[in-house]
């Protein structure tokens, strides 16, 4: 699949998430409404489903920036950040995104927004301080690739909807325990409903989170590749990733809800530094860690970049 096909695929997945979310929430609302003989539950489900999708599309970038305590970056204070982004945006054929910074020593960055015209690129002050210009170009090219590949809308929608699924599962469990059901004398049915509710509250948020993580890991490799094509210098991004991987302390504002948006794990690298690492995590439980990780291993990403450059 080439880059153009991937962009089209991201848009299809975004709309599939939105439509699928609407269908599932309304179907669950209908089932609960039927069980309790209360049409208002279905109406509430419809309003919540539509409202959540509307918020996910129009305003979730503001929530992401707020959760990470980001502030607007000024050209005077962050001149290289501005000029590198402006130059690469022109090269990529994109409008210049809004620029934000997070006051944090941990080197990291992310992109958010609903489309190319409303994109935001945010970097930590730690990243802007330790990166050379070519390394900064690699990082910004990576983030602009998320914008151009339409990752930012897909991932923003995914995180909001995954969080809402967890909320609905929790509400459903509480209603199941507190409510009497449509057949108060049918203990077997009520007991079955409670069992299904318990299973649902465990599996629904987990399934939503796994979908979110799988999308996140896949898109990082694509953004690395696209960013290297944009700068024509994969070594710059590889070197930047090595520095990010060498920093093991977490960000002060690290948040599970937005961790997958960052170029590196905001909770700190679990790998240590750089190119000398064995590929990926080692040990008996390695596959479990990789499966639940928000990011592919830094060493794997560096190797992928450098192998494409030599091939």
271 is in an annotated binding site: no
Dihedral of the alpha carbons of 68, 69, 75, 80, in degrees to the nearest 10: -40
pTM of this structure? 0.78
Q: What is the DSSP letter of 250?
A: P
Q: 4-13, 24-33, 38-47, 66-75 — which is least confidently predicted?
A: 4-13
146 is in an annotated binding site: yes
Query: Rounded CA gap, 204 and 290, in Å?
Result: 21
| Residue 70 parent element (H or E) | strand 70-72
Asked about 235 being catalytic, the answer comes back as: no
The CA distances from residue 290 to 219, 247, 286, 303, 311, in Å, are: 15, 19, 6, 17, 27
pLDDT in tens, 159-193: 677 777 766 666 666 666 665 555 554 555 555 55
pLDDT in tens, 282-300: 554 444 445 456 688 999 9
- Of residues 199 and 90, the one with the higher pLDDT is 90
Confidence of residue 122 (pLDDT cuts 50, 70, 90): very high
- Bridge partners for 120 per DSSP: 98, 112
- The pLDDT, as a whole number, for residue 277 is 45
- Of residues 108 and 13, the one with the higher pLDDT is 108
Q: Among candidates 251, 231, 216, which has minimal Cα distance to 123?
A: 251
Query: Rounded CA gap, 179 and 182, in Å?
Result: 9
List strands edge to edge, sheet with 109-112: 70-72, 98-102, 120-124, 109-112
- Bridge partners for 123 per DSSP: 101, 109
77 is in an annotated binding site: no
| Residue 112 parent element (H or E) | strand 109-112
Query: Rounded CA gap, 97 and 105, in Å?
Result: 23
Catalytic residue (one of 116, 135, 137, 143): 143
Tokens standing for residue 99: 């620029």
- The pLDDT, as a whole number, for residue 5 is 73
- Give the contacts of 13 (CB within 8 A, at least 6 positions apart): 154, 215
- The pLDDT, as a whole number, for residue 281 is 46
- The pLDDT, as a whole number, for residue 275 is 46
Domains, the chain: 1-233 (3.30.2010.10)
């Amino acid at each position: 699949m080439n880059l153009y096909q991937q962009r089209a695929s991201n848009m299809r997945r975004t709309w599939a998430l939105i439509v699928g979310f609407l269908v599932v929430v309304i179907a669950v609302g209908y089932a609960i409404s039927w069980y309790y003989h209360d049409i208002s539950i279905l109406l509430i489900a419809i309003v919540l489903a539509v409202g959540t999708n509307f918020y996910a599309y129009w305003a979730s970038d503001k929530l992401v920036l707020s959760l990470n305590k980001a502030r607007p970056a000024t050209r005077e204070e962050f001149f290289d950040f501005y000029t590198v982004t402006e130059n690469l945006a022109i090269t990529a054929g994109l409008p210049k995104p809004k620029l934000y910074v997070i006051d944090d020593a941990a080197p990291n960055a992310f992109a958010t927004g609903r489309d190319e015209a409303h994109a935001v690129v945010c970097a930590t002050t730690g990243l802007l301080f330790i990166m050379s210009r070519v390394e900064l170009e690699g990082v910004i090219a990576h983030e602009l690739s998320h914008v151009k590949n339409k990752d930012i809308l897909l991932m923003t929608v995914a995180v909001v909807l995954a969080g809402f699924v967890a909320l609905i599962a929790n509400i459903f469990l509480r209603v199941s325990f507190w409510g009497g059901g449509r057949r108060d004398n049918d203990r077997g049915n009520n007991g079955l409903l409670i069992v299904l509710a318990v299973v649902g509250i465990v599996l629904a948020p987990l399934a939503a989170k796994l979908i979110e993580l799988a999308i996140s890991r896949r898109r990082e490799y694509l953004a690395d590749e696209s960013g290297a094509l944009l700068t024509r210098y994969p070594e710059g991004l590889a070197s930047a990733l090595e520095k990010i991987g060498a920093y093991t302390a977490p960000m002060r504002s690290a948040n599970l809800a937005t961790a997958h948006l960052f170029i590196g794990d905001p909770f700190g690298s679990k790998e240590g530094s750089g190119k000398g690492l064995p590929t990926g995590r080692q040990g008996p439980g390695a596959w479990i860690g990789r499966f639940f990780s928000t990011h592919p291993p830094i060493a794997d990403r560096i190797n992928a970049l450098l192998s494409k450059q030599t091939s």
